[in-house]
Amino acid sequence: MTLKLGVPSKGRLMEKTFDWFGARGIGLSKAGSEREYSGRVEGLEDCALVLLPASEIPRELEQGRIHLGVTGTDLVRERLAHWDQSVKELTPLGFGHADLILAVPRGWVDVDTLDDLDAVAAAFRRRHGHRLRIATKYHRLVRDYLREQGVADYLLVDSQGATEGTVANRTAEAIADITSSGETLRANHLKIIGGAPILRSQAALFQSRGADWGTAERGVLERMLGALRLAG
Amino acid sequence: MNGRGALDAEIARIAEAFRGAGATLVDLPVLQPAETLLDLYGEDIRARAYVTRDPLAGELMLRPDFTVPVVQMHMEGGANPARYAYAGKVFRTQDRSSDRPPEFDQVGFEILGGEDPAPADAEVFTLLSQVLAPLPLRVTIGDIGVLMAAVQGLTTPENRKAALVRHIWRPRRFRALLDRYSGRAPVPPARAALLERVARGKDVLADAGPLVGLRTREEVAERIAALAADAQEPPLPAAETDLIDQIVTLRETAPSALERLADIAVDLPAIMPAVERLEERLEALAARGIDIAALEFEGGYGRSSMEYYDGFVFGFHAAARPDLPPVATGGRYDAMTRALGCGAEIAAVGGVVRPAALLSAREAGQ
């Protein structure tokens, strides 16, 4: 039996993950040609590398089709209901940093806190006859956060890309999105509100709780954690 | 008899008791327009309800409870006043760790459009309590109307009262507002800085550059003016926030709670009518043979249930099985009918039994 490790299949996230494991004595690489989505593992026996789009790794972990996986904490928390019941975060990897933030037009000089956003949402609904729209692709994270904070009278509208443009296009009044730099926000006349971000995300190594954990897989995991100098 | 048979028999027994109290048994749609539920409950309902799509009707939800369909059916031309009974499944998503089923039966009884609240409140409560007898259950009652009246009685401007009332059902935000208004929480630095710039005559709107989106410059200016006016308001006196605290943390037997509230009303006369309504209700309950000394009153009961009760609230819990959901719950929701009825408000009070929880509680009691 082998332990399956899921890793993002391309881009900087893949390279940085390879580097991170490589620095700890576990060599990960793509097998064969660059286009092939299977991989090789050196320095750790009975471990198979599975290359997957980062966004599919949470679901594969939840289904138990991979034992371990590297992906963003934002994706895990957004894609998996009660994420901590289906996966366990073993360690953050120190790269892939991104914050999920709430932003409103910079011209809303009266809005800086969630108190303000909530008060404006109430007034906006009275004035415009519909709830204040927040464009995002992180529905679960944003909804949970706003419920926790007691914000009402808003509506989440789905935006899978170019989210910063929705306000100027008048399909939303505010946005919630991942931002690693504030430049796109500034260019679109938006500003961040609410102090701390909704989530500080980075790449992390996750363990599936639902995968088949026999003696063999647990043995491989222990050897891997030893190499990574992590307690099990 | 066991399993589904026992459950079906129980459902039939309860529905028959409700029909015996003069209710018309109604069949209500499972699929509800998502927009109506979202407008009423907000986005939070998405996390609790099953959402589906219809190619023509758009987004639909599987009913998470019967309140909305009952009120809508009534508004669309029921007799007035009317009594309804219903039995059927409701659907709510559950935690992975929860052993509660995502679909379960409810049997309910509602009085809509009645005139005199106390007898109707007492009748609904007594009927449910008879249906649940002789099972020993812990019974909690409350009254959101007292808290609402208390907010109206604060010496603070209408806009602050409206903000507090809007968050009656979100205790955390309610608390934050109260702390802000009473000066227990400091003014956020960004707001202080904004008001300071406004006071120095700066054109804060022009300084911010272009304004994008639907919300107009006029709306921003209006709110800045409102914030400036609000900053001039004296803090809410500590004595008044104390009274609110006393109300929401009140936990006594019903007769003692009534006494405590009557005491609080000396300092906060605005709650007197609500306290009198509570007294009338307790009298009406006693007249129907309810042992009101055995009822536990909680001042904050029903605030976080998302049901939007705005007066009498009650719940029957199986003391021996704290893991079970309440066996029965209910209350008065006049204000919600206004939200659903486009302006018209009608008196509404009702309650539901969860027959599966009732059977489990009965088993645990044996």
pLDDT, tens digit, 9 for 90 and up, residues B92-131 = 988 766 778 899 999 999 999 888 999 999 999 999 999 9
Q: Can the peptide bond before residue B81 be classed as cis, meaning omega within 30 degrees of 0? A: yes
Determine phi and psi for B231, rounding to 5 degrees.
-65, -25
User: How would residue A82 be classed by pLDDT, with cut points 50, 70 and 90?
Assistant: confident
Cβ atoms B90, B66 nearer than 8 A:
yes
Question: Which SS3 state, helix, strand or coil, does residue B231 take?
Answer: helix
State pLDDT tens for residues B126-168: 999 999 998 989 999 999 999 999 999 999 999 999 999 999 9
Backbone angles phi, psi at B47, to 5 degrees: -75, -15
pLDDT recorded at residue B319 = 87
SS3 B347: coil
Taking only the tens place, the pLDDT of each residue in B289-310 is 999 999 999 999 988 776 689 8
Residues in chain A: 232
Which of these CATH numbers, 3.40.1160.10, 3.30.450.20, 2.60.40.10, 3.40.190.10, describes A3-97+203-228? 3.40.190.10
Asked if A81 and A140 count as a contact pair (C-beta separation under 8 A), the reply is yes
Residue with structure tokens 């409103």?
A104
Please say whether the beta carbons of A75 and A54 come within 8 A.
yes
pLDDT tens track for B41-66: 889 898 889 999 999 999 999 999 99
pLDDT of residue B347: 92
Which of chain B's residues have a Cβ under 8 Å away from the Cβ of A146?
Answer: 43
Tally C-beta pairs within 8 A across A and B.
Answer: 116
Mean of pLDDT values over B156-184: 93
Question: Could you tell me the two tokens for B75?
Answer: 């508004």
Helix (H) or strand (E) run with residue A49 in it:
strand A47-52
Asked if A52 and A38 touch (Cβ cutoff 8 Å), the reply is: no
Predicted model pTM: 0.88
Distance of CA A81 to the CA centre of its chain: 13
Contact B182, B337 (CB under 8 A): no
Q: Per-residue confidence at A180, pLDDT binned at 50, 70, 90?
A: low
Percent of chain B with pLDDT over 90: 75
Ranking A31-45, A49-63, A159-173, A204-218 by mean pLDDT, the lowest is A31-45
Which pLDDT score is estimated for A35?
Answer: 61
Same fold: A3-97+203-228 with A98-200: yes
- pLDDT for the residue B230: 93
Q: Which residues of B288-322 are buried (b: 16+ CB within 10 A; e: fewer)?
A: eebebeebbbbbebbbeebbbbbbbbbbbbbeeee
Could you tell me which residues of chain B have a Cβ less than 8 Å from any Cβ in chain A? 38-39, 42-44, 46-47, 93, 95-97, 163, 166-167, 170, 172-174, 176-177, 180, 188, 190-191, 194, 204-205, 207-215, 217, 219-220, 223-224, 227
Q: What angle do CA A36, A39, A45 make, to 5 degrees?
A: 160
| pLDDT exceeds 90 at position B179 | yes
DSSP code at position B326:
P
Q: Which residue of A has its CA nearest to B306?
A: A147
Within 8 A of B207 by CB-CB distance, chain A residues are 109
Picking from B93, B194, B210, the nearest residue to A189 by CB comes out as B210
3-state secondary structure of B128: helix
- Note whether B167 contacts A149, CB cutoff 8 Å: no
> Would the CA dihedral through B235, B236, B242, B246 be positive or negative?
negative
Indicate the average pLDDT of chain A.
92
pLDDT at A106 (0 to 100): 95
Task: Tell which residue, A144, A135, A175, A86, has the closest CA to residue B47.
Answer: A144
Residue A109, φ and ψ in degrees, nearest 5: -70, -15
A160-189 average pLDDT score: 91
- Residues B216-248 pLDDT 10s: 999 999 999 999 999 999 999 999 999 999 999
Minimum CA–CA partner of B195 in chain A: A110
**Looking at residue A68, what is its pLDDT?**
97
- Chain B residues touching residue A189 (CB < 8 angstroms): 209-212
Q: Are A8 and A14 in contact (CB under 8 A)?
A: yes
> Pick from B298, B289, B284, B285: which is nearest to B253 by CA?
B298
pLDDT above 90 (res B8): yes
Token pair of A94, please? 């120190």
- C-alpha–C-alpha distance, residues B73 and A127, integer Å: 29
Q: How confident is the model at residue A34 (pLDDT cuts 50, 70, 90)?
A: low
CA distances from B345 to A220, B62, B113, B208, B273 (A): 66, 25, 9, 43, 20
CA A52 to CA A64: how far, in whole Å?
Answer: 14
**Domain residues of chain A, as ranges?**
3-97+203-228, 98-200
- Is the CB of residue B83 less than 8 Å from the CB of residue B110? yes
What is the residue type of B148? M
Cβ–Cβ below 8 Å for B209 and A81:
no
- Judged by DSSP in three states, A192 sits in strand
Contact B191 A112 (CB under 8 A): yes
**A190 φ, ψ (degrees, to nearest 5):** -115, 160
User: Beta partners for B186?
Assistant: none
Query: In 3D, which of B186, B185, B182, B204 has the Cα closest to residue B195?
Result: B204
The class (CATH top level) of A98-200 is alpha beta
Asked whether the predicted pLDDT for residue A1 surpasses 70, the reply is no
A90 three-state secondary structure: strand
pLDDT band at B15 (very low <50, low <70, confident <90, very high): very high
- CA distance to partner chain A, nearest, from residue B136 (Å): 35
* Chain A closest-CA separation from residue B95 CA (Å): 7
How high is the pLDDT of residue A24? Answer: 94
For chain A, the distance separating the N- and C-terminal CA atoms, rounded to the nearest angstrom, is 20
Question: For residue A129, which amino acid is it?
Answer: G
- A127–B166 CB contact, under 8 Å: no
Cis omega before residue B326 (within 30°)? Answer: no
Mean pLDDT throughout A24-45?
A: 83
pLDDT surpassing 80 at residue B342: no
pLDDT score at B199: 93
Q: What is the pLDDT of residue A195?
A: 84
Counts of helices then strands in chain A (DSSP H, E): 8, 13
Q: Above 70 in pLDDT, residue B366?
A: no
A214-217 long-range contacts (CB < 8 A, ≥24 apart) are A214/A1, A216/A1, A216/A2, A216/A3, A216/A46, A217/A1, A217/A2, A217/A3, A217/A67
> Using an 8 Å Cβ cutoff, are B89 and B8 in contact?
no
> Which pLDDT does position B209 carry in this prediction?
84
Q: In what helix (H) or strand (E) does residue A106 lie, and over which residues does it extend?
A: none
Look at residues B205, B210, B233 and name the one whose alpha carbon lies nearest to residue B221.
B205
pLDDT, tens digit (0-9, with 9 covering 90-100), for B244-282: 999 999 999 999 999 999 999 999 999 999 999 999 999
Q: Quick one: pLDDT at residue B47?
A: 85
Is A107–B209 a contact, with Cβ atoms under 8 angstroms apart? yes
Look at residue A43 and tell me whether its pLDDT is greater than 60: yes
